[in-house]
């Protein structure tokens, strides 16, 4: 892939099981990214350097996933003018994920963080691709194809359930 335009960061290795979904969808949509670990609490100097140098490295969007107190997305957003998408991660030290959701969602005025659902890294990847696609026609076309495929899956499911009834159709998407 070409030079990364999306940065994917997470607070720890344990977040990878969720955050890999952002990487997978970006690969499917052919959006170059770079993934790494940046802890707001354990490596604050690394976090500061990452946030302050992201634009000069060519990044256009940052996806930041964190569990527990989830300070990473907001702290990174406070040090860059790039859009930051926060992914609350339900972690072992989490209060059923709500602490992560609220820590990312309830940012003070002037420091926005776009927030997706708990463990919603796939949607964070799609949102990042949409941001990039606003200025990159090839990414926009890949997104259009992806969304057309989603539509076709729904129509196929609808046809199946209408023909076979609910007992004869596969459950799920």
For residue range 18-69, list pLDDT tens digits in order.
Answer: 999 999 999 999 999 999 999 999 999 999 999 999 999 999 999 999 998 8
Any idea where the domains of the chain sit in the sequence?
Answer: 6-135, 137-173
C-alpha 148/C-alpha 4 separation (Å) is 26
What are the CA-CA distances from residue 60 to residues 26, 128, 135, 136 (Å)?
Answer: 14, 9, 10, 11
CB atoms within 10 A of CB 113: 23
C-alpha 119/C-alpha 3 separation (Å) is 27
DSSP state of 82: S
Q: Say whether 12 counts as a known binding-site residue.
A: yes
Considering the four listed CATH numbers 3.40.50.1970, 2.30.110.10, 3.40.190.10, 3.40.50.10420, the one that applies to the domain covering 6-135 is 3.40.50.1970
Q: Say whether 52 counts as a known binding-site residue.
A: no
pTM of the model: 0.94
Q: Say whether 15 counts as a known binding-site residue.
A: yes
Q: Are strands 33-37 and 114-115 parallel, antiparallel or unpaired?
A: unpaired
Asked if 22 and 47 count as a contact pair (C-beta separation under 8 A), the reply is: no
Query: What's the pLDDT tens digit per position in 80-129?
Result: 999 999 999 998 888 889 999 999 999 999 999 999 999 999 999 999 99
Residue 19 structure tokens = 């955050």
């Amino acid at each position: 892939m070409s030079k990364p335009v999306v940065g994917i960061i997470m607070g720890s290795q344990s977040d990878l099981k969720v955050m890999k979904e952002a990487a997978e969808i970006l690969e499917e949509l052919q959006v170059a990214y770079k993934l790494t670990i940046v802890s707001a609490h354990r490596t604050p100097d690394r976090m500061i350097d990452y946030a302050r140098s992201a634009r000069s490295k060519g990044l256009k969007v940052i996806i930041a996933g964190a569990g527990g107190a989830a300070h990473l997305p907001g702290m990174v957003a406070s040090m860059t003018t790039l859009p930051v998408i926060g992914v609350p991660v339900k972690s072992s030290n989490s209060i059923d994920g709500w602490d992560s959701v609220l820590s990312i969602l309830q940012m003070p005025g002037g420091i926005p963080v776009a927030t997706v659902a708990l463990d919603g890294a796939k949607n964070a990847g799609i949102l990042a691709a949409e941001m990039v696609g606003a200025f990159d026609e090839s990414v926009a076309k890949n997104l259009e194809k992806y969304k057309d495929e989603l539509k076709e899956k729904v129509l196929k499911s609808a046809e199946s359930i209408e023909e076979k009834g609910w007992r004869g159709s596969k459950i799920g998407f």
